[in-house]
Amino acid sequence: MLTVPARSRDDDAVANDESGFTLIELVIATGILLLVLGMLLSTLVSLTRSEDRAQRLVTNEQNVRFELDQLAREIRASNPLVILGTTTAYSTQIEMVLGPTGGTQSVVRWTYDTDPASPKYEQLSRQLMSDSSSTATVLATSWYLIRVRDVETNTALFTYYDAAEHDMVANPNYSASDIANCAIRVHISLSSDSNPGPLPFTETQDVELRNRLPGGTGCPIK
Is residue 95 within a helix (H) or strand (E), and if so which, with residue range? strand 93-98
What was the pLDDT predicted at 20? 63
Task: Kindly give the confidence (pLDDT) of every residue in the chain, 222 residues in length, as a single tens digit, with 9 standing for 90 and above.
Answer: 545 555 555 555 555 555 566 878 788 888 888 888 888 887 777 777 776 677 777 778 888 888 899 999 999 988 889 999 999 999 999 999 998 888 888 999 999 999 999 999 999 999 999 998 889 999 999 878 889 999 999 999 999 999 889 999 999 999 999 999 899 999 999 999 876 666 788 999 999 987 776 656 678 788
pLDDT of residue 103: 84
CA distances from 89 to 62, 114, 159, 179 (A): 28, 11, 11, 11
* Alpha-carbon span 93 to 109, nearest angstrom: 7
**DSSP structure string for 20-82:** ---HHHHHHHHHHHHHHHHHHHHHHHHHHHHHHHHHHHHHHHHHHHHHHHHHHHHHHT-SSBP
Helix, strand or coil, per DSSP, at residue 175: coil
Handedness of CA 172, 178, 182, 183 (dihedral sign): positive
- DSSP E strand stretches across 113-217: 124-129, 138-145, 158-161, 185-192, 201-208
Sheet architecture: strand order including 201-208: 158-161, 185-192, 201-208
Helix, strand, or coil (residue 144): strand
Give me the pLDDT at residue 159, please.
Answer: 96
User: φ, ψ for residue 200 (rounded to 5)?
Assistant: -60, 140
List the one residue out of 182, 188, 190 whose CA is nearest residue 151: 190
